[in-house]
Amino acid sequence: MTSAIEIVDLHKYFGELEVLKGIDCQVAEREVVCVIGPSGSGKSTLLRCVNRLEEPTSGTILIEGEDITDPDADVDRLRIRIGMVFQQFNLFPHLNVLRNLTIAQTKVLKRSQDEANEVARAVMERVGLLDKIDEYPIRLSGGQQQRVAIARALAMNPDMMLFDEPTSALDPELIGEVLDVMRGLARDGMTMMVVTHEMSFAREVADRVVFMDDGVVVEEGPPNETLTNPKTDRARRFLRMVQEK
């Protein structure tokens, strides 16, 4: 079976600085992989390379067997299959929630407005915010905005979802509602790659945890091994620091 995401020997430089130093990593279909590690370790860059928001310097990334790093790849078409959720939500402030959810459906997938509206209502129901569908993003709390952002990605019927620290910009009391939605997605079998600092979420939801430090994958495995009995010193140190917090 081909992996949903297969990353082979990925390198990324920002100028002189090597941020990713040869990453190999797979995400299977219906698998939830949490990427953890200290800030500056390259987690977000790795995630952003997967849908080529960041241009890899070298290496290959296959999306369901198709090479997205190929210069001739139709990146726009491949991105439709990859939903992405950002730390800063990035909802479109000039559009109301419904239009946020339908604009790409109509312009990219060429769905009719009626069909798009219907899909939008269904995904808003799924994230529990159907009553906010006519609001503008600015009127919503951070947690609600992030749930709308998840709904916006879902409306495109992606095969997989990337989450770039989806709760890091949220007030502590709003984190739970977003994690609940993500838990629901995982339960429904969505393929997910999640960069996160929420260790309890990783422990509970992830099928596999990837620990990154300084541009390399230091260790990976099931959460109850990697998060409980890490094999490497670096992972042990990081986890101790996180738990002391």
Q: Name the site residues for other proteins (rule: CB under 8 A).
A: 51, 53, 76-77, 79-80, 82-84, 86, 88, 90-94, 103-104, 107-109, 138, 149, 152-153, 156
Smallest gap, in angstroms, from Cβ of residue 154 to other proteins? 11
**Least Å distance between CB 202 and other proteins?**
23
Between 83 and 223, whose beta carbon lies closer to other proteins? 83
**Which CB sits closer to other proteins, 17 or 138?**
138
Shortest reach from residue 37's CB to other proteins, in Å? 22
Min dist. Cβ of residue 95 to other proteins (A): 8
Compute the distance between CA of residue 45 and CA of residue 163 in angstroms, rounded to an integer: 12
What's the angle, vertex CA 218, arms to CA 14 and CA 79, rounded to 5?
55
Nearer of residues 2 and 157 to other proteins, judged by Cβ: 157
User: How is residue 194 written in tokens?
Assistant: 């999640």
Output phi, psi for 15, to 5 deg.
65, -120
Closer to other proteins at the Cβ: 108 or 241?
108
3-state secondary structure 121-170: HHHHHHCCCHHHCCCCHHHCCHHHHHHHHHHHHHCCCCCEEEEECCCCCC
